[in-house]
Amino acid sequence: MRHLLVPYYEHPTTNPTAWQAILDSPRLYGVILNPASGPGTHPDPAFAATADRLRDRGTRVLGYVDTDYARRPHADVVRDLLRHRDWYGVTGAFLDQVSSGPEALAHYRRLAVAARAAGAGSLVLNHGTHPDPGYLKLADVLVTFEGTWETYRSAEPPPAWTRTYPADRFCHLVYGADTDLTALAAERGAALHCAVPGDGAHPWGTLPHGLGAVTPQ
């Protein structure tokens, strides 16, 4: 099953062995492309080549865009979406730091329309917690947990409304983990997930469990 949504935030030339492990994995739902906390200010040929290889293998390539909990101007987010499309040929979008309350739904509805117009066949919103259910109308997948393994293990069960939707609409991202997340995420209603051993300020520089714990040299 393709159940891994991988945020691997390392340059392809820094750790090509890790990128190769990602490319070779048959378990990928998608890979989040994040050259410079977004697309950056100019195209990066190494990321463009990696995106090409991922697409050639039938993997979703999602461009990372920060929304700063609805504080980032709409035009700046759209600019990043278009840069991801034009420079890296991404097939989807991963909007990070997304608000969870109903008061921001209109803002994210506009961003969702812009993402689709920019060619995002797959749209993932990262709330990091369970948001208002209205966000499910905007995106294909909601990230309803992002945090440490310790916090995840003791987290309360998901709200009842989540059980009325397919599990592949939800994703959990866990760092500081010492094991794969597949079984526990399924128990909590999320078919998509990623659990990495990394911790601290940059946990997403380590590979998910099951792909090998290759770290930058």
pLDDT at position 70 over 50: yes
Distance CA 168, CA 208 (A): 18
Tokens for 194, please give them.
Answer: 């990623």
Report the mean per-residue pLDDT for the chain: 95
Percent over 90 (pLDDT), the chain:
95
Q: What is the pLDDT of residues 198-216, one digit of tens each?
A: 999 999 999 999 785 444 3
User: What pLDDT shows up at residue 216?
Assistant: 38
For 43, what's the count of Cα atoms within 13 Å in the CB-facing half-sphere?
Answer: 14
Residue found by looking up tokens 């966000």 in the block? 135
Q: What is the pLDDT of residues 130-164, one digit of tens each?
A: 999 999 999 999 999 999 999 999 999 999 999 99
**Region 75-86 average pLDDT:** 98
**Region 110-130 average pLDDT:** 98
Q: What is the pLDDT of residues 184-195, one digit of tens each?
A: 999 999 999 999
pLDDT at position 46 over 60: yes
CA dihedral (166, 68, 39, 168) in degrees, to 10, reads -10
Percent over 70 (pLDDT), the chain:
97
30-34, 59-63, 139-143, 208-212: least confident range? 208-212
User: What pLDDT shows up at residue 210?
Assistant: 77
User: What pLDDT shows up at residue 108?
Assistant: 98
> CB pairs under 8 A, 24+ apart, for 213-217?
214/15, 214/17, 214/18, 214/21, 215/15, 215/18, 216/10, 216/14, 216/15, 216/18, 217/14, 217/15
Tokens for 217, please give them.
Answer: 């040299």
User: What pLDDT shows up at residue 212?
Assistant: 56
- pLDDT tier, 74 (very low <50, low <70, confident <90, very high otherwise): very high
CATH 3.20.20.80 fits 4-205, yes or no: yes
**Secondary structure class of 123 (helix, strand, coil):** strand
The separation between the first and the last C-alpha atoms of the chain, rounded to the nearest angstrom, is 31
